[in-house]
Amino acid sequence: MSMRRYYEFVIEALIFASGIASIIFVLLIFIFLLKEGLMLFEHVGVFEFLFGKYWYPISEPPRLGILPLILGSLWVTFGATVISVPLGIACAIFIGEIAPGWLKEVLKAGVELLAAIPSIVLGFIGLVTLVPMVKKVFGLPTGLTAISGSIMLAFMAMPTIVSIMEDALNAVPRGYREGSIAMGATQWQTIRRIVLPSASSGIIAAVMLGIGRVVGETMAVMMITGNAAVIPMSFFAPVRTMTATIAAEMGETVQGSEHYFALFAIGIVLFAITFVINLLADFALHGKQIRT
Partner 1 sequence: MADAKIKVKALNFYYGKFQALKNVKLEIPEREITAIIGPSGCGKSTLLRCFNRMNDLVSGVRIEGEVVVDGEDIYCPSVDLVHLRKKVGMVFQRPNPFPLSIFDNIAYGPSIHHFASRKQFPEIVERSLKAVGLWNDLKDRLRDLALTLSGEQQQRLCIARLLAVEADILLMDEPCSALDPIATERIEELMRELRKKYTIVIVTHNMQQAARVSSRAAYFYLGELIEYGSTQRLFTRPLRRETEDYITGRFG
Count of C-beta atoms within a 10 Å radius of residue 211 = 26
Is 146 strand, coil or helix?
helix
Closest distance of CB 202 from partner 1, Å: 13
* Sole binder of partner 1 in the list 74, 140, 185, 250 (CB under 8 A): 185
204 vs 210: CA distance, rounded Å: 10
208 vs 202: CA distance, rounded Å: 10
* Sole binder of partner 1 in the list 173, 251, 254, 289 (CB under 8 A): 173
Tell me: does residue 183 bind partner 1 (CB under 8 A). Answer: yes
Residue 159 identity (one-letter amino acid): P
Considering only residues 79 to 138 of the shown chain, the ones binding partner 1 according to CB under 8 A are 100-101
Nearer to partner 1, 86 or 197 (CB): 197
Distances (CA, A) of 86 to 40, 83, 90, 182: 40, 6, 6, 29
Tell me: does residue 255 bind partner 1 (CB under 8 A). Answer: no
Nearer to partner 1, 61 or 175 (CB): 175
212 vs 190: CA distance, rounded Å: 30
278 vs 272: CA distance, rounded Å: 10
42 vs 182: CA distance, rounded Å: 68
Nearer to partner 1, 101 or 139 (CB): 101
Closest distance of CB 181 from partner 1, Å: 7
* Sole binder of partner 1 in the list 116, 175, 251, 289 (CB under 8 A): 175
The number of residues that bind partner 1 (CB under 8 A) is 21
Whether 135 and 143 have beta carbons less than 8 Å apart is answered as yes
* Sole binder of partner 1 in the list 35, 136, 193, 286 (CB under 8 A): 193
Tell me: does residue 278 bind partner 1 (CB under 8 A). Answer: no
Residues that bind partner 1 (CB under 8 A): 100-101, 173, 175-176, 178-186, 189, 193-194, 197-198, 291-292
